[in-house]
Amino acid sequence: MSRHAELALLIDRLTEDLGDGIHTTRIPRLALIRSAQPTDGLHTVYGPSVCIVAQGTKRTIAGEAVLDYAPGHYLIVSVEIPVIGQVTRATAEEPYLCLRLDLDPAMLGGLLIEAGMHRRREPEPGLGIMLSYTTPEIMDAVIRLTRLLSTPGDIPVLAPLVERELLYRLVNGDQAAMLHGIAMGESRAAGIARAVNWIKDHFREPLRVEKLAEIAHMSPSALHQHFKTVTAMSPLQYQKQLRLQEARRLILSAQSDAAGASFAVGYGSPSQFSREYARLFGAPPLRDIARLRGGEEGARMAASG
């Protein structure tokens, strides 16, 4: 049995009775994801994390970047990025199965310092979402971390050790520079992360590029350049996606109608909101929400990892 087949069997057994969706686990920041069918392209936000596919295939679109991944790949994300996620191959007999570990910058930073890797030359910022091939060492750590879910009493002692080993394997892999940027707060990547977090916390407010550049400790022109490199979109486009995704959530959960949602997320014009909503989601708010309530929302969770 291959290592990916072994991981797929473990995730399948742990999620079989839970059904499709993202399932949190007893291990902090670790989630198991299952989908028994392909999904449409669904809008979501990926946070700093590593996702390892055990079975099935997935497509993630960030700006103009299209990433297709399958067993043998891991996806790593350095900052929160609005994306379109789509499970492209899954059946009831062979569901899409994936493991996602949210990254802890403090743990990463401590590991880099302990390993003497924190003095590396700062890399130029790159796209904040990348694919790499899993190594046997990475797969071994991932499988042992997943196995711990079957012995909950071992988790408090052993899970932190296995997680550190997994992170160590990752920071010695293809995406070491990206992980270094997540951990070390003085880097340009960390400046973009500060800008991303500020927009996320204040997306309802008017966006002032000068204010954002000050937060990132960059000039406005450098901020725009590096922000687009990391997130595949400008700060204004990033804010717009967060606003529209939050408005969609408010309408879908019946907390607001379309006009109320548009004002709640910072739009001053309901007509502009409706145009931009349709441009992003493919239909005006009422038609889009009717379609989601008709059955598509059940697939939303599986597209988030």
Q: What is the phi/psi pair of residue 129, to 5°?
A: -150, 120
- Per residue in 64-92, pLDDT (tens digit) is 889 999 999 999 998 889 999 999 999 99
Quick one: tokens of 158?
């052993």
Please give the pLDDT value at position 187: 62
- Per residue in 268-304, pLDDT (tens digit) is 999 999 999 999 999 999 999 988 887 554 444 445 5
Q: What is the phi/psi pair of residue 119, to 5°?
A: -100, 10
Amino acid symbol at 254 = A
Euclidean distance between CA atoms 78 and 62, whole angstroms: 13
DSSP 8-state code for residue 123: P
- Per residue in 35-49, pLDDT (tens digit) is 999 998 889 999 999
Q: DSSP for 194-246?
A: HHHHHHHHSTTSPP-HHHHHHHHTS-HHHHHHHHHHHHSS-HHHHHHHHHHHH
Which CATH code for domain 3-183? 2.60.120
Tokens 């014009």 -> residue: 269
Q: Considering only CA atoms, which of 258, 193, 231, 175 is closest in space to residue 63? A: 231
Euclidean distance between CA atoms 82 and 30, whole angstroms: 21
pTM: 0.80
Collapsing DSSP to helix, strand or coil, 41 comes out as: coil
- Per residue in 167-219, pLDDT (tens digit) is 999 988 888 777 777 776 546 777 888 899 899 999 999 999 999 999 988 99
Euclidean distance between CA atoms 147 and 44, whole angstroms: 29
Task: Check if the beta carbon of residue 232 is closer than 8 Å to that of residue 65.
Answer: yes
Please give the pLDDT value at position 154: 96
Q: Order across the sheet with 65-69: list the strands.
A: 42-46, 81-89, 57-62, 65-69
Euclidean distance between CA atoms 51 and 223, whole angstroms: 28
Task: Check if the beta carbon of residue 89 is closer than 8 Å to that of residue 35.
Answer: no
